Structure 1
C-alpha cells in the first residue's frame, strides 16, 4: 500500500477581528520548544502563514488523526502569542502581506514584484510514494486530466481583499501568476522530465528546481509524486478525501503504465481551461469532464473520478468513505460554499473568519 503525506498551509489570524497576523516567526519559535513539533511546522513565503507536514501514512484514519493533531497544535502554539489559525486558502478580509526576510523570499520579491507581494494563498500538497522516478513520471503524465476535479472538491477561496471574487478557488488564479505553475505536457520519460526542469532553471527565470510549480511533480526531497492543485481544505475530512483520491489516482496511473496504456493526450491549453472551470465553478455548476473535455454537471464528473479510481480505493478499503465524503460535499458544499453561506447568514467577513477558525479545529 502506498504511503501518503500531506502538507497544509494555515492562515494566522486575530481571534477577535479575524484579520491576518504576521506572526509566523513567533509561532515557529514556540513550536521549536516542543520536542514533538520541532520537525512538523515550517515557515512560508509570508509571515501570515504557517505550514505543517504530516509523516507518511498508510492508513487514512492515521492520516486524519495526524492532520487533526497538527491543526490543534498549530492553534495551541499560535494561541500562546495571541493569534489562532484558520484553514482558509485566501484571507476573506483585506490584508497587506508581509514577505519573509530570508534571502530566498527577498529574491522572489525583487524578481516577481507585486506577484510575490500578493501571493498570500494557502494550499494543500499531497505526497504519494512511488517506486522510482520512472514510475513517477509515468504517473505525472497520466493523472493530468483528473487534477482539476481535486481542485473543484477542495475549493476554499471565494473572497479576496474583502470582496467576493465570483470564483470558488481564487487561490488557484493567483497561484498561476508564477511563471512555472500549472499543468504540463506529457513528458514520456524520466530523461525528458529532468531535461525540461534543467532547461527551466537555466533560463534564470526561476531560482532553482524548488520553484518548479507543476500541478504534479516529482518531489525534490522524497520518493513521491507531489500533487499541488488543492486549496487548503476547511475541514480535515476534506483534506483526507483529497489525499485518498490522490493515492487512488497515483495507483491507477501506475497500473495503466505497467499495462502499456498511453496517457490521454490533452493539450496544456485544454487542461488550463479545465483548471479555470474548476476554479470558477467548484461544485456549484459544471466542470470539464477529464475524458472528453466537455462540460458536465459537477456531480457527474466527481462520480467519474470515483469510478476511475474505484478499484484502487476498494483494495485499500477507502472507497466507501470516499463516496460518503464526496456525497457530503455535493450535498452540503465545499469550503467556498460554506464561506459564502456564513457571509449570507452573518453579513460579516469577520464572522466568516472566526467561524472558520472553529471549523478548522473540528
Structure 2
C-alpha cells in the first residue's frame, strides 16, 4: 500500500528491455530474490482495543535502527524486508523487526498484533492517517470504503523482472491465488463478529473497485491500458492504488502478490515467499521452453477465490482447473507437487512441506482463532492469542 517496497537490485539491460525469450539462466529459481512486506495492528495492552500510537511506535523503532512505513490508519505499522535469496533470511529479518516493534509498543502500554483485521468491535472511531495528502484524497473520494483500510496483509515481491516478465508471472500466480488465500487465511473475526469466512479481510478488501483478481494480461500494453482505465474511471488515484491480488511492482522490477493475510506464523511467511518465487520460476521456465501459460475460466477462478475466502484451509476448495469441489489441503498438496523442482533447487522444499504439515496438524490461523474463542466465548482471548504468537513468531 505504499511506495517503499522491498529493495531489489536493478535489472540488467537485457532483462530490463525484456527482449527475446527467457534463457535457461534467467529461468533458474536461484536467480530470483524475494522481499516481504507485513502490516500489523497496535492494541492497548489492557483493553485490547486498537491504539492510535503508530507515530510514536515508529519513532521508538527508528531509534533502534528499524525503518518502518506508515499505513492508512494510526493503529497500524508496516515493515518491509530487503530483498534476499533465502526465504529463511526473510523470516529472521521479520522476527527481528517484530521484536523491535513489540518492545516499542510495550513502552507505550500497547501490544503488536499480527492480525489481519480488528477482532473486537471498536470502542471509538478509528483514526485515519491523513499524511501525505494523497491519503486524505483517497478517503474523501471513497468514503466508507476507507473503513476497510484497517486491515493487515502480507505482500511478497519476487524480482528482478522486466515488466514483460512480471506481467507473465502475474498470470501464472493468478491461477493459484485461491490456494494461496486458503493457506494464509487469518481473519475469521471482524469488529466483534464471526464472519463465517476464514479470511474476511480478503472479502472486505475486494470491495475496492481496483482490488480483487486481476484480468488475464496479454501484454505490457494491456496491463498499462487496464491501469489507465482504472485511473480514468476514478476507481484509482494512481497506479499504486491498483490493489489487485497480484500485480507487476509499481516502481520496482518485481511481481507482487498481495492477497495474503498477515499472521503470527513466520514459518508460513517464509513458505509463502518460497511458493511465490517458485511460481515465478515456473513462469520463466515455461517461457524458456516456449510453452503456453494455462488459462482457466474467469468465472471459475472468481468462484474459487470466494470459496477459499469462506472455507480457508480446513474446508473445501473449488479446483479452477476443472470446477470440481475438493479438500483445500489437496490443492495445497497439488501446488507443492507442481513446484517441487524449483522449490528443491532453492533449498525451500523441505521447509514448505514441513510448514504445510504443521498447518495440517495444528490448524490454520483462522482455525486457531476460532478454537481460542470456543474455549470461553471471549474475543479478548483471540486478541491475546494473536499478540502472544506475534511476539514469538509461532504458528
TM-score relative to the length of structure 1: 0.96
Identify which of 375, 379, 383 aligns with 1:345: 375
**Contact 2:148–2:205 under 8 Å retained in 1:** no
Q: Which residue number in structure 2 is paired with residue 99 of structure 1?
A: 128
Does residue 6 in structure 1 map to residue 33 in structure 2?
no
The ranges of structure 1 where at least 4 consecutive aligned residues each deviate by more than 3 angstroms after the TM superposition are: none
Identify which of 54, 78, 90 aligns with 1:51: 78
Mapping for residues 1-362 of structure 1, pairs under 5 Å: 1=30, 2-34=32-64, 36-37=65-66, 40-95=67-122, 96-102=125-131, 103-362=133-392
Q: What's the CA shift for 1:20?
A: 0.9
Aligned length, in residue pairs: 359
**Contact 1:78–1:85 under 8 Å retained in 2:** yes
TM-score relative to the length of structure 2: 0.88
Q: What's the CA shift for 1:360?
A: 0.7
**Would the alpha carbon gap of residues 257 and 291 (structure 1) be closer, same or farther in structure 2, given more than 3 Å must change?**
farther
List gaps (5 residues or longer) in structure 1.
Answer: none
List gaps (5 residues or longer) in structure 2.
Answer: 1-29
Moved more, 243-252 or 287-296: 287-296
Q: What's the CA shift for 1:340?
A: 0.6
Q: Distance in 2 between matches of 1:135 and 1:21?
A: 41
Moved more, 348-357 or 255-264: 255-264
Deviation sequence 1:99-145 (CA, Å, 0-9, x none)? 11221221121111111124311100000113311111111122211
Q: Distance in 1 between matches of 2:161 and 2:52?
A: 40
Root-mean-square deviation (CA, aligned residues, Å) is 1.4
The residue matched to 1:65 in structure 2 has which SS? helix
Q: What's the CA shift for 1:198?
A: 2.0
The residue matched to 2:276 in structure 1 has which SS? helix
Deviation sequence 1:27-67 (CA, Å, 0-9, x none)? 12222333x21xx3111011111111011111122111101
Deviation sequence 1:184-237 (CA, Å, 0-9, x none)? 222121122122212222223311111011111111132110000100022111
